[in-house]
Chains A and B, each alone.
Chain A
Amino acid sequence: MTAETIIQSLASGLLMGLLYGLIAVGLALIFGLMDVVNFAHGEFLMIAMYATFFLFVFFAIDPLLSAPLVAAALFVFGAVVYLLIVRFAVRAKANAGMVQIFSTFGLAIVMRGLAQYFFTPDYRSVTHSWLGGKTVSIAGIYLPVPQLVGALVAIAAFGALYLFINRTDFGRALEATREDAGAVALVGIDKNKVFALGWGLGAALVGLAGAVMAIFFYIYPDVGASFALIAYVTVALGGFGSVFGAFAGGIIVGLVEATTAMLLPPSLKAVGIYAVYLLVVFIRPRGLFGSM
């Protein structure tokens, strides 16, 4: 193994890691806002990928152009999921933790079933997109263009999210609600509205990730499952609820995955990610950037 191949795979690990961060950030946002883990997060990614695929097949819209549309559609979807399901789940008097887990798990299973029913279990892919299959050479390192653009989209999305949370009224309301949902009601902020918009925003972010993923990844009903687990690990590494922890967590996961793939057989590359998760939470039970 030469230094060149090591740098090569670390570079692609970094790109993938930024995308993992983008996939996970919606999950972190929602958790930080209301202490709920969305166990259907992977399925949000899945429908975003299908939406991108169908926009491409039926309307010949390239994933790069459809990404904002998909994000907008997912925004609506996320808000609706909050209003129809999660709003009631957080009110549960008995077995509160359990109800949150299983109501979103139920949603995940329904979405997977619907995808199988309407889209069949076949593997799909977006063929001949603008970026698909292209590579670019930077200082002797070959990088796949879709992942490179995906990583740039992720960085841009994190930047925009930072400005949004710190500079807009809604962003401040979001921060205030995550600090103390009871107190914001006293100053006239409708908690439910903030939660619904938070779910919308979280879903829109994973929608963006899904549109980019659709360029270079197969699309099938169970595609969300494996990415969801990586997203949970990413979010937990960064400390649940920490939006920028998810950014750092994503990069760590990407690099660890690339390193494991170099050392172990490819089928075991996820073991490295899982092992790092366990190692981190055993030492710091609230994640790397979580408050103790």
Chain B
Amino acid sequence: MDTAFAERRRRDLIVAVVLAAIAATVPLFVKDVYVQNIMVLTLMWGALSQSWNILSGYCGQISLGHALYFGLGAYTTALLFTKFGVLPWFGMLGGGVISALIAMALGYPCFRLRGHYFVIATIVIAEIGLLLFHNWDWAGAAMGIEIPARGDSWLKFQFPRSKLPYFYFALALACVAWFVTWWLEDSKWGYWWRAVKDNPEAAESLGVVVFNSKMGAAAVSAFLVAIGGSFYAQFVYFIDPESVMGFQFSLLMALPAVLGGIGTLWGPMLGAVILIPLTELTRSYVGGSGRGVDLIVYGGLIIAISLARPQGLIGLFSFKGLAGLFSPKRKEAVR
């Protein structure tokens, strides 16, 4: 193992701990509920995008159907709690396990598909899930499920009066998703995934079990996204098929990573920190009653970033990245 890489990993870990500690103190100064709400959403989308990034970024299997796992997490928690009184914490775990199993069951046929056929299969499968929940009467069908308020309680994971507990949970979730990624980056899986992404045939010939490594990435990714979905259900108290399984959720999970840098450790979090506050602010200050300005800003940003910096914004945050802005690659080649 080369020492520069080990050094970088150690530095990443230290930076992450410092950033998490700083983030944890922010609510002490920022008391505004609206801003706190944006912070919770930012952390949640950062965590979700980080999880999406494991399958789509590191392993290169672009999924635009992760809303399925988000919705499964939300529904498992909400159904277990409202129908059987099971505490959300168990629901959360249950949702994660169910999602991981379903991800592997779906991966079994889907991972044979390549390119656009795979992407469209993920969209179509999530859409089938959405339609099934729409028609599933026991699960509330199109009416959705309201999670009854039982007062402030960590046991029941409900805090009607304060955003703070949600904030700390979202922060913890973001840290876990980041740490899992960090840990996997240097594991056998991490190397396999990057090999599979770059050239599956070559990877296979070198002894990487391509199929299994895709299955592993799908399971980890789906598990974490489902935890996010459970959290979201507890956070908003009301879910229906469109509001947790709609296609826009799949898209929203991908965008922060695209913006920040796909298949990078810091990309998804960076993307979320830029994208989510920007969307929320445009929505409330310019957008008004869903008039579409937020979409225009959003879409414009995606086009601009994907054309101007396909590797994401993250590269700009290193010394090399900044220097690279001023010294064209040609010069290096001449040297």
Whether B128 pairs with A275 at a CB distance below 8 angstroms is yes
Cα A109 to Cα B282 in complex, Å, equals 15
Whether A92 pairs with B307 at a CB distance below 8 angstroms is yes
Whether B128 pairs with A271 at a CB distance below 8 angstroms is yes
From A97, A99, A108, A229, contact of B124 by CB (8 A): A229
Cα A96 to Cα B300 in complex, Å, equals 19
Give a binary string over A99-124; 1 marks a CB under 8 Å from any B CB, 0 the rest: 10111011111111111110011000
**Interface 9-mer from A65-73, A143-151, A204-212, A281-289:** A281-289
Q: Which residues of B contact A275 (CB under 8 A)?
A: 128
Whether B311 pairs with A114 at a CB distance below 8 angstroms is no
Give a binary string over B56-73; 1 marks a CB under 8 Å from any A CB, 0 the rest: 000000100000000000
**Closest residue of B by beta carbon distance from A239:** B117
Whether B62 pairs with A109 at a CB distance below 8 angstroms is no
Whether A229 pairs with B123 at a CB distance below 8 angstroms is yes
Q: Which residues of A contact B292 (CB under 8 A)?
A: 112-117, 221
Q: Which residues of A contact B125 (CB under 8 A)?
A: 274, 278
Q: Which of B108-154 contact A (CB under 8 A)?
A: 109, 112-117, 119-121, 123-125, 127-128, 131-132, 134-135
- Given the contacts A106-B303, A236-B120, A274-B127, A116 and B311 also touching, CB distance less than 8 Å: no
**Closest residue of A by beta carbon distance from B307:** A88
- Given the contacts A89-B306, A232-B123, A274-B124, A109 and B311 also touching, CB distance less than 8 Å: no
Cα A78 to Cα B94 in complex, Å, equals 47
Q: Judge whether A268 is part of the interface by a CB distance below 8 angstroms.
A: yes
Q: Which residues of B contact A80 (CB under 8 A)?
A: none
Whether A110 pairs with B299 at a CB distance below 8 angstroms is yes
Cα A274 to Cα B120 in complex, Å, equals 10
Q: Which of B288-323 contact A (CB under 8 A)?
A: 290-304, 306-307, 310-311
Q: Judge whether B262 is part of the interface by a CB distance below 8 angstroms.
A: yes
**Closest residue of A by beta carbon distance from B297:** A113
In which size bucket is the chain A interface? 35 or more
Cα A102 to Cα B128 in complex, Å, equals 23
Count how many chain B residues have C-beta atoms less than 8 Å from C-beta atoms of the other chain.
46
Q: How far is the CB of B316 from chain A (nearest CB, A)?
A: 14
Whether A108 pairs with B299 at a CB distance below 8 angstroms is yes
A-B contact pairs, 5 of them (CB 8 A): A98-B62, A109-B295, A236-B117, A240-B116, A287-B117
Whether A277 pairs with B303 at a CB distance below 8 angstroms is no
Q: Which of B169-202 contact A (CB under 8 A)?
A: none
Give a binary string over B235-258; 1 marks a CB under 8 Å from any A CB, 0 the rest: 000000000000100010011001
Whether B303 pairs with A97 at a CB distance below 8 angstroms is no
Q: Judge whether A167 is part of the interface by a CB distance below 8 angstroms.
A: no
**Closest residue of B by beta carbon distance from A111:** B299
Contacts A110-B299, A275-B128, A278-B121 aside, 15 further interface pairs with beta carbons under 8 A come to A31-B116, A92-B310, A94-B310, A102-B254, A106-B300, A106-B306, A109-B296, A110-B300, A113-B292, A113-B299, A115-B292, A116-B292, A225-B247, A233-B120, A271-B132
Q: Which residues of A contact B263 (CB under 8 A)?
A: 95
Whether B299 pairs with A98 at a CB distance below 8 angstroms is no
Whether A106 pairs with B120 at a CB distance below 8 angstroms is no
Whether A121 pairs with B290 at a CB distance below 8 angstroms is yes
Q: Judge whether A37 is part of the interface by a CB distance below 8 angstroms.
A: yes
Q: How far is the CB of A261 from chain B (nearest CB, A)?
A: 13
Q: How far is the CB of A219 from chain B (nearest CB, A)?
A: 16
Q: Which residues of B contact A109 (CB under 8 A)?
A: 295-296, 298-299, 302
**Closest residue of A by beta carbon distance from B301:** A106
Q: Judge whether A291 is part of the interface by a CB distance below 8 angstroms.
A: no
Q: Judge whether A267 is part of the interface by a CB distance below 8 angstroms.
A: yes
Cα A108 to Cα B112 in complex, Å, equals 29
Q: Which of A30-44 contact B (CB under 8 A)?
A: 31, 37
Whether B307 pairs with A99 at a CB distance below 8 angstroms is yes
From A113, A233, A281, contact of B294 by CB (8 A): A113
Q: Which residues of B contact A85 (CB under 8 A)?
A: 303, 307
Q: Which residues of A contact B62 (CB under 8 A)?
A: 97-98, 101
**Closest residue of B by beta carbon distance from A225:** B247
Q: Which residues of A contact B295 (CB under 8 A)?
A: 109-110, 112-113, 116
- Given the contacts A105-B251, A115-B292, A274-B128, A110 and B121 also touching, CB distance less than 8 Å: no
